Amino acid sequence: MNGSKAAKLSLFAITWPIFIEILLHMLMGNADTLMLSQYSDHSVAAVGLTNQLLSVVIVMFGFVATGASVVIAQAIGAKLDKTAAEVAVVSIMGNLLFGLLLSGALLIWGDTFLKWMNTPPELMKEATSYLLIVGGFSFIQSVIMTIGAAIRSYGFTKDAMYVTIGMNILNVIGNYLFIFGALGFPVLGVEGVAISTVFSRFLGLVVILYLLFKRSSIPLPFAKSLKLIPLHIKSVLKIGLPSAGEHLSYSGSQMVITFFITLLGTSALTTKVYTFNIMMFIFLFAVAIGQGTQILIGHMIGAKSFDSAYKTCLKSQTYAMIISFLMAGVASLFAKPLLSIFTDNPEIIKEGTLLLYLTLLLEPGRSFNLVIISSLRAAGDVKFPVVMGVISMWGVSVTLAYLLGIVFELGLAGIWIAFIADEWLRGLFMLSRWRKRKWQNKFMVRNAEATA
């Protein structure tokens, strides 16, 4: 792989394939939801609840992938191609082993985890079936995530996009066959969606492995992976573990809030699933900009171009905030037609419409966290976002969600207000942190210690 190519890319050039890739990931989830909505609202709720649990597993896989992405990007910026290749190999092998471990845990204790989440009895059978199949093979996703992170850090963002396109096409075809019984296939509902998901991921893994070897300008030292782990795993985990802590805190807080929503009933849970499916299309722009900015800033930090890194983050944040607000405005204007795609239940449409109106306030605040936290991570300043995240997610989001949503009986609207307060509070603290440029001093200290 040649890192010089990535260093010359503009924000737009490196971000648009990431945007398409994330869009397609979201479309895959929405395809499951939309197709299942023609089958059963209960099936939608079961898959939505189970995916809340699986999102925690994905976060656990993400700490190696995220750490690898930053370390590889900084190595490329410093023109250390051999180090970048070694880190890629160590990260892939490490996450494969970790993925196998977590997949085993889901197979053994999956139903117990669902009971802890207060899964309604009428959803338990389908939720367990989906979790055992998708969760049991989740190690495939751990490897895809790590290889994808490495390829993107080298600037080949289109490769990951093409793989995702193929996975989406296969997933939709599989859903159609198993949900509607086309071409004589058995009608399997939730179980069929799970099988389709796993099969498409497996073929995606085969292709992305091929692309990894094809893009390598130097041989990837997989044979030496056990010897290389002690050399590089510390630098990966130093970035990845705190980053995972922030994501894990978010996913954990969302699981607790989902538990609150189950207290409001299956209708509220289904409303939340449908609304979130629409909201994902709003904040995916900020997610893509954040990931693209992280790659660029990683290269700039490695090359010690600190002023360029500082300006790039602020420019990216401005773009993300404006686009998030405009997209939220479009979603609120067409709230009822959008929700009607998923359901004809008037109660769900009415409440979901209110939540999309509140999204006008929520998404601009979220953009700060998606872009600036990615920038801080690329610069190696990973502890502050974690500490601030834990304080705000649990002290503000979870606490207010319970008080407003349950105690004061504002329902989902109260829970959305809690989300707004959390995102804006954290976002403004992240902006202040970036402007103070403590990340620059931290990098200089680490660099001096490494070369001493």
Q: What are the backbone dihedrals phi and psi of residue 8, each rounded to the nearest 5 degrees, phi first?
A: -90, -5
CA distances from 224 to 85, 93, 219, 229, 322 (A): 12, 11, 11, 9, 47
- How far apart (Å, rounded) are the C-alpha atoms in residues 363 and 419? 10
Instruction: State the burial class of residue 272 (Cβ atoms within 10 Å of its Cβ: 0-12, 13-18, 19+).
Output: buried
Q: Give me the residue label for tokens 């790590």.
A: 146
Q: Give the list of residues 6+ apart from residue 33 with CB closer than 8 angstroms, or none.
A: 44, 47, 48, 273, 274, 277, 342
Question: What is the predicted pLDDT for the residue at 224?
Answer: 76
- How far apart (Å, rounded) are the C-alpha atoms in residues 165 and 184? 26
Which amino acid is located at 183 in the chain? L
pTM higher than 0.85 for the full model? no
**What string of DSSP letters covers 192-253?**
HHHHHHHHHHHHHHHHHHHHHHHH-SS---GGGHHHHHHHHHHHHHHHHHHHHHHHHHHHHH
Q: Give me the residue label for tokens 């994501």.
A: 247
Question: What is the predicted pLDDT for the residue at 9?
Answer: 62
Helix locations, 117-189, DSSP H? 121-130, 136, 138-153, 157-180
Q: What is the pLDDT along the chain (452 residues), one digit of tens a residue?
A: 543 444 456 778 888 888 888 887 767 666 666 777 777 777 777 777 787 788 778 877 877 888 888 888 888 887 877 888 888 888 898 889 889 999 999 888 888 888 887 777 787 888 888 889 988 999 999 999 999 988 888 878 888 888 988 988 898 888 888 877 778 778 777 888 889 889 999 999 999 998 888 876 667 777 777 777 777 877 888 887 787 778 778 878 988 998 899 899 888 988 998 898 889 889 889 999 998 999 899 889 988 899 999 999 999 999 999 999 999 999 999 999 999 988 889 999 999 999 999 999 999 999 999 999 999 988 988 889 999 999 999 999 999 999 999 999 999 999 999 999 999 999 999 999 999 998 888 777 666 655 55
Question: What is the predicted pLDDT for the residue at 234?
Answer: 79
